[in-house]
Structure 1
Amino acid sequence: MKKINIGGVPEHFNLAWYLTLKNGEYKAEGINLRWHDYHGGTGQMCKGLREGDIDMAVILTEGIVKDIIAGNPSKIVQTYTQSPLIWGIHVAADSEFKNIDDIKGTRAAISRYGSGSHLMAYVNAKNNDWNLEKDLEFSVIKNLDGAIEGLTNGDADYFMWEKFTTKPLVDDGIFRRIGNCPSPWPCFVIAVRDEFLKHNEEDVRTILEIINNTTSEFKNIPSIDRTIANRYEQELEDVREWLSLTEWSQELIDKKTLNHVQDELLHLNIIPEKWDYKDLVYKL
Structure 2
Amino acid sequence: MKNVRIGGVPEHFNLAWYLTLKNGEYKNEGINLRWKDYYGGTGAMCKALRDNEIDIAVILTEGIIKDIIAGNPSKIVQTFVQSPLIWGVHVADHSKFKTVQDIKGTRAAISRFGSGSHLMAYVNAERNDWDLEKDLKFEVIKNLDGAVEGLAKGDADYFMWEKFTTKPIVDDGVFRRIDECPTPWPCFVIAVTESFIKNHKDDLKTILDIINSTTSEFKVIPSIDRTIANRYDQQLEDVREWLSITEWSQSLIDKQTIELVQNTLLSLDIIPKKVSYTLLTEKI
Shorter-chain TM-score bucket reads: over 0.9
Task: Tell me by how many angstroms 1:248 deviates.
Answer: 0.1
Letter in 2 for 1:112: R
The residue correspondences of 1:108-119 to structure 2 (distance < 5 A) are: 108-119=108-119
Equivalent-residue separation in structure 1 for 2:84 and 2:34 (angstroms):
27
Aligned to 1:13: 13
For 1:137, give the aligned amino acid. K
Q: Which whole-Å deviations, capped at 9, do the CAs of 1:152-196 have from their partners, x for residues lacking one? A: 000000000000000000000000000000000000000000011
CA distance in 2, matches of 1:200, 1:270: 32
Unaligned runs of 5+ in 1: none
Partner in structure 2 of residue 244 of structure 1: 244
Partner residue of 2:88? 88
Percent same amino acid among aligned pairs? Answer: 76
CA RMSD of aligned residues (A): 0.2
TM-score by length of 1: 1.00
User: Secondary structure, in 3 states, of the residue corresponding to 2:200?
Assistant: helix
Aligned partner of 1:49 in structure 2 is: 49
**What residue identity is the alignment partner of 1:73?**
P
Partner of 2:61: 61
CA distance in 1, matches of 2:170, 2:249: 30
The structural deviation recorded for 1:224 is: 0.1
- How far off is 1:71 after superposition? 0.4
| Structure-2 residue corresponding to 1:229 | 229
1:127-146 equivalences under 5 Å are 127-146=127-146
Give 1:251 shift.
0.1
Question: SS at 1:142's partner residue?
Answer: coil
Q: Secondary structure at the match of 1:185?
A: coil
> What is the aligned residue count?
284
Secondary structure at the aligned position of 1:139 is classed as strand
Find the aligned partners of 1:209 and 1:150 in 2 and give their Cα distance. 41
CA distance in 2, matches of 1:7, 1:152: 29
Query: Deviations along 1:222-268, whole A, 9 cap, x unmatched?
Result: 00000000000000000000000000000000001100000000000
Amino acid at match of 2:200: N
Q: Match of 1:27, as an amino acid?
A: K
The residue type paired with residue 103 of structure 1 is I
- Runs (4+) of structure 1 exceeding 6 A deviation are none
TM-score by length of structure 2 reads 1.00
Cross-structure match for 2:178: 178
Counterpart of 2:271 in structure 1 is 271
